[in-house]
Amino acid sequence: MNLILLGAPGSGKGTMAETIVKDYHLVHIATGDIFRYNIKNQTVLGLEAKRYIDAGQLVPDSVTINMVADRLQQDDVKQGFLLDGFPRTLEQAEALAKMLPELGLSLSAVLAIDVPEEQIVERLSGRRVCVDCGTSYHVQSKKPQSDGVCDSCQGEVVQRADDELKTVRERLATYHKQTEPLIAYYTQRGLVQHLDNSGDYASSYAKLAAILRNIK
């Protein structure tokens, strides 16, 4: 299977990606990992990306697209892949649509993770994390035994800047503007499978398994 995973921040996309990659033996192609690899190994594309990053500028689509194209040419991709974080825009989706046939590849499906927006806001704005060991908490579902103190290491438990309510709303607005149109784009091509991830992990996993059983 060759899959794309789409989902808003806080939709549980990361957990689903880990599950799919592990249980279905797919290669996880995440844009963050690709960037780190290329920059660390000082590839031509990595050096180009670093120039933009060091200047405080956004890395152009062309660089990101070329990094993904390079990754898709590697041998391990033949066992099947999960694209996570790419494409993010319609322009990237069009580039991928051109790229895949040239590489002898095709998409099996696009998994769109669905969670009501207010539930996402509640999930993210309620998250807390230990500054020392990274243990995660939630103000409703997983509070530390002592307010503001980590159960594991007694470090300080805080709210990350990314999880502040205003920032969460901004992140979701960016997703709706840039990435959500991809769902319509791939729906028109008959590739979208919706996964309701608003419930508990077990029910979501059962739905995921049912979806993937029917994908060729």
Per annotation, catalytic residue among 13, 71, 123, 128 = 13
Which tokens is 37 given?
């690899």
The yes-or-no answer on residue 71 being catalytic is no
The yes-or-no answer on residue 213 being catalytic is no
Q: What is the DSSP letter of 178?
A: I
Per annotation, catalytic residue among 98, 142, 160, 177 = 160
Per annotation, catalytic residue among 50, 88, 143, 169 = 88
Q: Give alpha helix (H) positions in the chain.
A: 13-24, 31-40, 44-54, 61-72, 90-102, 117-125, 165-174, 181-187, 201-213
The yes-or-no answer on residue 189 being catalytic is no
Q: How far apart are CA 64 and CA 50, in angstroms?
A: 12
Q: How far apart are CA 166 and CA 148, in angstroms?
A: 21
* Dihedral in degrees, nearest 10, Cα atoms 212, 80, 186, 115: 50
Amino acid identity for residue 32 in this structure: G
Question: Exposed (0-12), middle (13-18) or buried (19+): which is 130, by Cβ within 10 Å?
Answer: buried
- 140 SS3 class: coil
Residues catalogued as catalytic: 13, 88, 127, 160, 171
